[in-house]
Structure 1
C-alpha cells in the first residue's frame, strides 16, 4: 500500500455526481456526522430513516428525516427504504447504516435493496464471522494479531435442564460482553450493560443467571482485562474498495471514553495520530478476510509490553467517524469515487492532527492527567484545532445550537454521575 498526504486522495473530486442521494439508517451522532461529511464534500442533503428524529438529527438543514412507526422492525425499515427509492427515480442512491444490527438488516435484505441502492457492505457470511467477537479473536490469533485472552460462553442450549456454563480461569477482574451485539440488541434484564467489568466469580455467576433467565441464546466472551485507562485505547477507520484495495486508513489516540452503562467504551475525545505498526496489523486482517467497505477497529495498547491488542472490528464506519473528515480525509469521497463513479484512487493514510471531542474542553482536561498528553490537548485547543461533529456552521439554526449546548452540559452531568474522577487503572 502506498501512502500519500491527505490532500493526495482526500478530495478526488469536487463536484457532486449527478443524482447523488445518500440514505442513512439510524439517528445517532455518527449518522449526523455522515450526513455532514456528504454535505461538506458534495453539498447534498441526506435522507435519514429511523424510528425517531433524535437530537443529533433533529431540526437539521442538511437532513430530511423519514420516520417509521417502529425503528426496531427490520421489515418496516426495508419497506421504507424501498419507498424512498420509488420516490426518487433516477437518483444515485447510496445506502449506509451505522450500527451493527442495522448493517445486518441491510446485508440480510441486500437482494431487495441492491436493485435500487449502492450497498457498500461485506457479505453476510463474512459479516457473521467478523462481527462475532469470539470468531474475531480466533481469526486474529491465526494471523498473528494480538488479542486479549478469550473464553467463550455459549447460551444456545442454556434453556435445557442440566446446562452449565464452562469454567472460567481468567484472572479477576475480567471483562464480559456479548460476542455479537446484534444477538444482544433486544435482550432485556436488570443491570444490562454493553460491557461488564467483573470483579469476582460470584458476579460472573450472577451475570450468567441473568442472561439465561432473559432468554439470551447467543454467545458471551470473557476476556482478560488489559490494564490501563482510556488513554491506552486506539481507534482505526478504514475503507476497502470494491477491488479489494485499502484506499483510506486513519487512526486516533483515545483520550476519554463514555462511562454510562449504555455507552461504555464509546470514545468521547480523541487525537488523530498515525500508528504505523497498528495500521499494518489492521491491513493484514482486512486483506486476509477479503473485507470490503468501511471498518472500524477498537484497539488497546498493553502497557505491560507495548503491544497493540485488537478487541473488535465494527462492520461500519463507526460512531465517531467525523475524526477522519476533520483530519483531512473525508471518507465518503472514497466511497463515492469507488461505488458511484467507479474510479480507483491512490491509497491514503490520513494523519493531520486534530482534537475530536464531544465534551466541554474544561471537562476533558479534568481527565487528561498525563502531562505530555495534556500539553498536546491544550496546544490543539489553543490552536483551535478542535472539532465537534454537531457544530456545523452550515447547519447552525438556533435549535441546533441549543441542542449542542444542552448535550455538552449533559456530558458534565453524566461524567459526574458515572465517572467523577480520572483513574489510571480503569479500562
Structure 2
C-alpha cells in the first residue's frame, strides 16, 4: 500500500514550497525522509552522501552530491551546494528559499551542530544545541535524566575508560547475573574506534567474555564510557519504538509509537527494527514527551523501550538525537513528519500536537520470513491480518519512484534479508529467546 499522506497533494504544494531539503547520509532512513518530502510537497531532496548505495541509487526523487566523510569535508560540501543553489536561484529570478538540513547519523548530528555557525544562515538546522545533544546521547546521562523523572531503565554499570592508561586500571565490577548487554554510552565516541569483533551491541555470556571485551576496548584506544546492562528477557516483540518532534518553542507537536516485531541482527545494524506495527502506546508516548520537555529538547528524537516480562514495566534504553532509520512508520501511521518540521522551521506555524495511530505493518523484510519469525500466536494472527488487508508498507517501495533498477534493488535486498537472518538469528535461537517472554500480572506501565 502507499501510506497515507496529508490533505495537501504533492502537485498542489510543488509550485512554491519555499524550502529545499538536504540530508546527509545514504541509508533507508534517508530515502524514507526524501519519500515523505516528495509525498507531501512534491519536491526532490538533495542527499549529501559518502557513496551511492542501493537505498538512494537510481532514484527519481533524489539528487546525490558526493562528499568525503571527514566533518570538514561534509561542511565544505554543504557550503558549496548552498552557494550554487543560491546562485542558480538568483539567475532564475526565484525568491529566497530555506535549505532544511537533516541527517540520520549520531556523529554527523554532533558535527553539524558543532559547526552551526558556519552553516547558518544558509541552512536551517532543526537540532538541539551541542551540550544537550552530548548529554542526552550519552546513555549514562540519559539514564540519569530518566531517574530524575522516575522513568524506569535497565540496571546499569558504567565502565569509564578515561583513566584506562593508568597503571592498575580495572573496570568496575558487575553485580547482576550474566548474560548481560554491553554497549557504548555515546555512539559518537565509539564511531572511530576499530578492533576485531567490533559490534554496535554486545551480548556477553560470561564474566571472562566481558573482561576480554574491556581489554579490547582499552587496547583500541577507546576512552569514553561503556555500559554494562542487565539483559531484560524476551524476544524482539517485547521492544517498542517511539519517535517525537519538539518544535522551536519546546512543545512536543508530533508523537508516534510502534510495537517491534523483528530487529536487525547483523553486527553493524544490530538493534534497528526491521518490522513494526504502528500502535498508540500512551504510557511510553507520555514518558518520552516528559523527557523532551524536561530537557528543553528541539527537533526529532527516537527512543528504544522494552517491556520487561518479569514485572510488566516499560523500561527506556536510550534517546537518539535524530528521527531514526525507520522514520517512515510515522508517515505510514498517518502523520508525515516533514509537514510538522516545515511548518515549524520554515513557516513558523505553531501546530496543535498530533499522534500517529493508524495501524499499519511496516517491514523491510519479506512477509514470509516475518510470518515465520513472529512466534506469539495472537501477534502472528494480527500480522497476517494486516498483510491480508493490504495495510503494509515498505519504505523503498514507492510507486512514484519505481524504475526497474530500483525494483531490482528492493527485491535483492529482501532476498538478502533471508540469508542474514539464517546466518545471524536462526529460528532455533529465536525460539530459545522467545521462551523468556513469560508475562506477569502487571501490564505495560511506566513506573519506578
Where on the TM-score scale, by shorter chain, does this alignment land: which range?
A: over 0.9
Equivalent of 2:318 in 289, 312, 317: 312
> Helix, strand or coil: the match of 1:299?
strand
Q: CA deviation at 1:161?
A: 2.1
Equivalent of 1:86 in 67, 83, 95: 83
1:70-149 mapped onto 2 (5 Å cutoff): 70-71=68-69, 73-89=70-86, 90-149=96-155
Flag structure 1 segments of 5+ consecutive residues without an equivalent. Answer: 1-5
CA deviation map 1:92-118 (0-9, x unaligned): 100001010111111111111121111
TM-score if structure 2 supplies the norm length? Answer: 0.91
CA deviation map 1:72-96 (0-9, x unaligned): x000000000111101113310000
1:15 aligns with 2:13: yes
Distance between the aligned counterparts of 2:228 and 2:61, measured in 1? 42
How many matched pairs?
Answer: 419
Distance between the aligned counterparts of 1:10 and 1:149, measured in 2? 42
- Checking the alignment, whether the CA contact within 8 Å between 1:18 and 1:92 is kept in structure 2 is no
Distance between the aligned counterparts of 1:256 and 1:424, measured in 2? 15
TM-score if structure 1 supplies the norm length? Answer: 0.96
1:49 aligns with 2:55: no
Distance between the aligned counterparts of 1:168 and 1:18, measured in 2? 55
- Equivalent position of 2:24 in the other structure: 25
- Checking the alignment, whether the CA contact within 8 Å between 2:59 and 2:406 is kept in structure 1 is yes
- Equivalent position of 2:61 in the other structure: 62
- Checking the alignment, whether the CA contact within 8 Å between 1:98 and 1:318 is kept in structure 2 is yes
1:394 aligns with 2:400: yes
Equivalent of 1:210 in 213, 216, 227: 216
Distance between the aligned counterparts of 1:130 and 1:239, measured in 2? 15
- Equivalent position of 2:337 in the other structure: 331
> Helix, strand or coil: the match of 1:57?
coil
Q: CA deviation at 1:186?
A: 1.2
- Equivalent position of 1:220 in the other structure: 226
> Helix, strand or coil: the match of 1:55?
coil
Distance between the aligned counterparts of 1:295 and 1:11, measured in 2? 25
- Checking the alignment, whether the CA contact within 8 Å between 1:20 and 1:44 is kept in structure 2 is no
- Equivalent position of 1:35 in the other structure: 34
Q: CA deviation at 1:12?
A: 7.5
Q: CA deviation at 1:424?
A: 5.2
1:114–1:12: structure 2 CA closer, same or farther, 3 Å change rule? farther
- Equivalent position of 1:359 in the other structure: 365
Distance between the aligned counterparts of 1:298 and 1:42, measured in 2? 30
1:346–1:424: structure 2 CA closer, same or farther, 3 Å change rule? farther
Distance between the aligned counterparts of 1:10 and 1:179, measured in 2? 38
Distance between the aligned counterparts of 1:372 and 1:191, measured in 2? 37
Q: CA deviation at 1:10?
A: 5.4
Q: CA deviation at 1:420?
A: 1.3
1:15–1:24: structure 2 CA closer, same or farther, 3 Å change rule? same
Q: CA deviation at 1:11?
A: 5.0
> Helix, strand or coil: the match of 1:120?
coil
Equivalent of 2:431 in 405, 408, 423: 423
